[in-house]
Structure 1
Amino acid sequence: MIPKGMQYLLGYTIISMASLAWASYDSLTKAVNFEVFLMEMTDGVKLGILINSVALNFVMVGKILQLSLFGELRLLEADHLMEKLPFYAGNLLFNLATTDNFLLNSFLLVTAVGFKAFHIILIDRADYVNLRIANNSNNETYTRAIIIKKYVFNLYFWLVFFFIFLDFSIAKLLVYDVFQGINSVVCLLFGFEFAIQGVEALTYCAKMFINIYELAVYRINEHHDNSEDDDDFLDEDIDIIWETKAFYSKGIDIASSSLMAVSYLAFIYLLTFHSVLSLPISMLQGTYSSLKQTYTEVRQLFAFIESSKRLDNQLRTATKEDLEATDNLCIICREDMNSVEDYETNFKKSLPARRRPKALPCGHILHMGCLKEWLERSDSCPLCRKKVFDPPDQNIQREEANHPQEQNQEEAQQHQLEENENQAQREIPANPEDNQEEIEDQQQSEGSESQTKSDVKESSSLQIDNSSGADVVEGSSNNIPDSSVATPSNPSGERQTIKLPPNSLLPPGWAVLPLKRTTFIESGGRVDYYVSFSRFQKGALKIRQVEPINNRIIYPFTQVKQDGEPEE
């Protein structure tokens, strides 16, 4: 069975060849000599057929080269081609409007697109080879000589150098006419595109050498004869880390973006002062993007340096209690985290700095080394996407702005709480149903705004009628941070609005209910809180201390209808 993509290519080839045969036959019947034949073939619809035939030949040659050099493409490589190639080809289409030499434009266009496609495939394939070598570097039989040998005898390693040489050679050939005073804007435009591809390939080559150096120097251990424990080997591997690799990688990115910006500016200079031609609008976008990328890379480098300095100073090391309150697993490396005290007790040595658990401001805990590597790519928490570090001036302004507001809110809440308690002591109803109606009227008139803090060591019992049988609802209260809940009154409908902090996380299947502190005494005893299930469903809550069962807390409760009768 022929693949679907091959069927499309075969059909496109048949139609293109048939169209070219018709155009050639019609031109030959009308032409009396070779010059007339060329005029007929480059006129009207026949010119489009001829250009399509040139593109088809490039596609066929490119497909043969792809199968010869890379074989069948992986799914990732095919996806990258579909993502990057259409956008690149669309930008090059603007070059077709610069001159009347349409055939030369089309030839250079398909050549540049073909080179771009091979660059995308080559970089993905070289990354795949580098990943395989890096994964096998933990094998005891691997030495530095074997690592270097695998790179030297790899075809894709040398193809990177070949494409770098080819890109700059074609760019020099196309730009040479401009220096000679020939007004060939087409050659200048496409020569610049080949120069940009050469810069990208040169950037990848530099990063590849950094990876080879890291594997050969830091990842390969040639002392396997030592009779040490596996834990000792693990600790040695952890300690042997190239800490400054991020700075070198970021420096290469900055140099690459700067070189591209200089290339765009040099292109503008050549086009303006040597070709005496107008500046193509399509190149202004590339110039702006390269300058902006350079600025962004430099800013990210300084931000990473600042974050690295603040890791130890502003992030506290998680304690044993903090790790026990979580799942004790680093989300980045998927390994268990140990507290400093437990590690020193179990292994009789200090915990490496990269393995120290660091607690973020949002409450999540990660390894020090994993967090540092994550900050190379992003300045947000990998779980909740909250900023790990805010700018210092922003923190000061936020604290100054929030401090008086928080103080006023606390005073207002304390005053409201005292008034509610005084009113509750003056008016103690004898009938729970009357009490329920009064609470509903009070909440509908003035709204319910309250804050509650839950303790994982307590169990709550919601009761309205002791004789009514209620179903038991179970749920885990582990890892629930303290948070405030505000429930403003809803004038219409049964729904109520609950506002949570932006960094709050709720376990699946859990619900948040507003509580209101009270001191009413009912027939079953004192009631500590009133719970609002909705605007028309209330409940009374009593706090009692029980022992946890398998680290899970059971919440028995009874819902109450509007008329005060227990709901089955």
Structure 2
Amino acid sequence: MVNLTHKQQFIAYFLASNVLVIFAVWPVLESSPNIFSAAVQLSEGIPLVLLANWAVAMAIVIGKLLQQLMFGELRLLEIEHIYERSKFEVINSLIALTMFNTYWLLIPGILTLVLLFVKVFHWLLNDRFEMIFQRATTPRDILMTRNTISLLILLYADFTMVYSCAEYTFGNTPDVYFAFGFEFTLLFIKLLSLTMNICLNTWEVHYLNTHPDEEVMESKELYLKIVKLVETICSLAIYHFLVFTFIGPNRIPIYLAKDTIFTAISLVKQVKEMMIHLKTAKELDSKLLDATEDELNEDNNLCIICRDDMTTVGVTKGERLYPKKLPCNHIIHLGCLKGWLEISQVCPLCRGPVFVDPPVTADNQQQQQQEPVPQPGQQQEQQAHHEPERPQPEQRETPPMETGVPGPPNINILDRLPHGGHFFHGQTETPTPTQTQSHGLPIVHNEANTVEIPINGLNPPGWTLFNVRPETYGYRVLLNPTQEVQMKKILEIPRDVFEQIDVGEGSSTLRQRSRGKQAESDETSDYLD
């Protein structure tokens, strides 16, 4: 079997269609006394099918010639889009033909063919301008192309078809011209939306050329959302109008169901996105702190989105390059943050929420930076301040190994506990000396019930350290001097894994208890991360 390419297959199909039409039409023309009688014979039976097939083949050839003239060679992506979209459109058009109350399908068939023909060119024009928007560096790259001429041609064709269908609506087949008139109206609205998109992108390219310090025009996204929202509202209104017009006891416009439902879903989604966009624009200044130059010097001053250095020197508050501090303490350019929030509402690095309650305003920003964040149980501590303080275990640290590198700063772990140094049973035994790991970072060991972390370790965002006492079936947590909670054990670590964990001398009792449980019931150590 000979393998033919798509081009060779179409050439064979086109030649076969012409040959069949010639054999079907020529005998009728020879035997008929006039053109009228020949037309009557060709309008029924097999000759009608052959003529319709020949019309489709000729339409494809004409379309291919116009495509070469208006767009040139097509990209692989554009060809795939045509195949993907045309399958549904052809089926939808055949279903639409069954809706009209007429036995003469010549006019609906011709209008259906023209509608499919025009839709393909609309798809190509949209794909071609999307490619141009990504590559254009000057307004000339967008406007001075043959795609602009194609846009004008399609605008004129859509308007002409809408006007013609509206004029013939009052004829013999009003429902046919009425339905196709609104179909061409939808195409005309989408083409107007594309025109506005072209204008906005041209304006952005000109703006970026005149403002070399800027990377994007912020207002363009809002205008694009408004244009898309107006287009969706108009399309949904036309679909609902067609549904309520054609629905009846003897017919149901099934071919409009998919477009109506999908357009309604798109409208709801766009309204939500618009509300989020407007809300985000208002909350950026009211709920996010301004990063200071000291914070930029202490932390990494590299924006995690654009990978540029951040600074507050010479940058006016509210500009795109002004650094903003997220609740998770990550710092990002204001403009980069706006672009990121259109995709997600979480931090791009740690996935923490960008906006948290209560809001932080510019007035209380300085007060919040100076005052400590209130922790659970603070009120109970204030009420019980008259109670005598329990003796705190004295903390001793051994200096790190001499490695030639300055060691980390000394941090008291008790300062991180919101409830202070109150431990269970008022332990007063002598604390275990601090050990030094092989990498030179000392670990503080106060007692068996204290939390053990490196002295230069940082708490994860939103985490709080509490005193925990292991029990038989869980743990008992001290929230404050007057409140305790009980937690059940949810995770057990196997003994072989637990043996590899360096928990230090301060937890030797806990390790022995774990070994005893493992020998009796194959349980494992109570280890709380």
TM-score, normalization by structure 2: 0.61
Return closer, same or farther for 1:113/1:321 CA change in 2, 3 Å cut-off. Answer: same
- Asked if residue 335 in structure 1 is aligned to residue 336 in structure 2, the reply is no
Distance 2:143 2:208 in 1: 18
Distance in 1 (CA, whole Å) between partners of 2:297 and 2:113 is 58
Shift of 1:14: 0.9
Kindly indicate whether the alpha-carbon contact (under 8 Å) linking 2:28 and 2:41 is maintained by their aligned counterparts in 1. no
User: Judging changes above 3 Å, is the alpha-carbon distance between structure 1 residues 73 and 287 closer, same or farther for their aligned structure 2 residues?
Assistant: same
Letter in 2 for 1:177: Y
Q: Kindly tell me: are residues 323 and 174 of structure 1, through their superposed partners in 2, closer, same or farther at Cα, counting changes over 3 Å? A: farther
Q: Spell out, residue by residue over 1:47-94, the C-alpha distance to the aligned partner (whole angstroms, 9 max, x if none).
A: 554433322222222122212222112344334334444333443332
Aligned to 1:109: 112
For 1:220 and 1:173, the matched residues in 2 are separated by: 44
Q: Secondary structure of the residue that 2:320 maps to in structure 1? A: helix
Matches within 5 A, 1:17-36: 17-19=15-17, 21-22=19-20, 24-25=22-23, 32-33=31-32, 35=37
Give 1:124 deviation, angstroms.
2.5
**How big is each residue's C-alpha offset from its partner over 1:271-310, in whole Å with a ceiling of 9 and x where there is no partner?**
579xx99552322443444444444433332321111111
Task: Map 1:363-374 onto structure 2 (within 5 A).
Answer: 365-374=331-340
Provide the secondary structure at the position in 1 that maps to 2:304: coil
Q: 1:7, CA displacement in angstroms?
A: 1.8
Q: What is residue 497 of structure 2 aligned with on the other side? A: 537
Matched residue type, 1:98: M
Residue 80 to residue 272, structure 1, CA distance change in 2 (3 Å): closer
SS for the counterpart of 1:538 is helix
- RCO greater where, 1 or 2, for CA within 8 Å and sep 6 or more? 1
Cross-structure match for 1:302: 275
Distance 1:453 1:97 in 2: 77
SS at match of 1:244: helix
State how 1:473-488 maps to structure 2 within 5 Å: none
Structure 1 residue aligned with 2:323: 357
Q: Deviations over 1:308-347 (max 9, x none)?
A: 111122123456657876693432xx3324243xxx2xxx
Residue of structure 1 equivalent to 2:168: 177
Q: Name the structure 1 match of 2:203.
A: 213
Aligned length: 410
RMSD value over aligned CA atoms?
A: 5.1
- Counterpart CA distance in 1 for 2:132 and 2:495 is 63
Q: Distance in 1 between matches of 2:425 and 2:55?
A: 86
Given the superposition, is the C-alpha separation of residues 107 and 312 from structure 1 closer, same or farther in structure 2, using an over 3 Å criterion?
same
Change (3 A) 1:121 1:456: farther
State the SS of the aligned residue for 1:355.
coil
1:43 is matched with which residue? Answer: 45
Aligned to 2:400: none
1:315 is matched with 288
Q: Distance in 2 between matches of 1:301 and 1:47?
A: 53
- In the alignment, structure 1 segments of 5+ residues that lack a partner are 138-146, 222-232, 394-402, 408-413, 426-449, 459-477, 486-514, 518-530, 545-559
Maintained 8 Å contact 2:99/2:252: no
1:55 partner letter:
V
The structure having more radius of gyration, on CA atoms, is: 2
TM-score by length of 1: 0.58
On the 8 A contact 1:95/1:189 being kept in 2, the answer is no
State the identity as a percent: 24
Give the Cα separation in 1 of the matches to 2:358 and 2:88.
40
Match of 2:233 among 258, 270, 282: 258
Q: Are the aligned partners of 2:20 and 2:50 in contact in 1 as well (CA < 8 Å)?
A: no
Report what 1:98 is aligned to: 99
Cross-structure match for 2:61 = 60
- 1:174·1:188 contact (CA, 8 Å) conserved in 2? yes
8 Å CA contact 2:229–2:271 kept in 1: the answer is yes
Cα–Cα, structure 1 residues 267 and 365, in superposed 2: closer, same or farther, change >3 Å?
same
Does the CA-based 8 Å contact 2:159-2:188 persist in structure 1? yes
Report if aligned partners of 2:326, 2:354 keep a CA contact under 8 Å in 1: yes
Deviation at 1:122, TM superposition (A): 1.5
Counterpart for residue 13 of structure 1: 11
Cα deviation, 1:408-445, whole Å, max 9, x if unaligned, reads: xxxxxx9xx977998xx9xxxxxxxxxxxxxxxxxxxx
Give the residue type in structure 1 aligned to 2:65: I
Matched to 2:289, the amino acid is R
Match of 1:500 in 2: none
What letter matches 1:213 in structure 2? Answer: W
Q: Retained in 1: the 8 A contact 2:208–2:217?
A: no
121, 124, 142: which one aligns with 1:118: 121
Structure 2 unaligned blocks of 5 or more: 360-374, 380-418, 430-448, 466-474, 478-490, 506-514, 523-529
The equivalent of 1:244 in structure 2 is: 219
Q: Is the 8 A contact 1:380 1:388 kept in 2?
A: yes
Structure-to-structure mapping, 1:66-81, within 5 angstroms: 66-81=67-82
User: Compared with structure 1, are the counterparts of its residues 385 and 253 closer, same or farther at alpha carbon in structure 2 (3 Å cutoff)?
Assistant: farther
**1:167–1:197 CA contact under 8 A, matched in 2:** yes
Distance 1:16 1:210 in 2: 43
> What is the Cα deviation at residue 350 of structure 1?
5.3
Relative to structure 1, is the Cα distance of residues 385 and 182 closer, same or farther in structure 2, using a 3 angstrom cutoff?
Answer: farther
2:154 aligned with 1:163, yes or no?
Answer: yes
In structure 1, the partner of 2:191 is 201
In structure 2, the CA distance between the partners of 1:456 and 1:199, relative to structure 1 (3 Å rule), is farther
Letter in 2 for 1:169: T
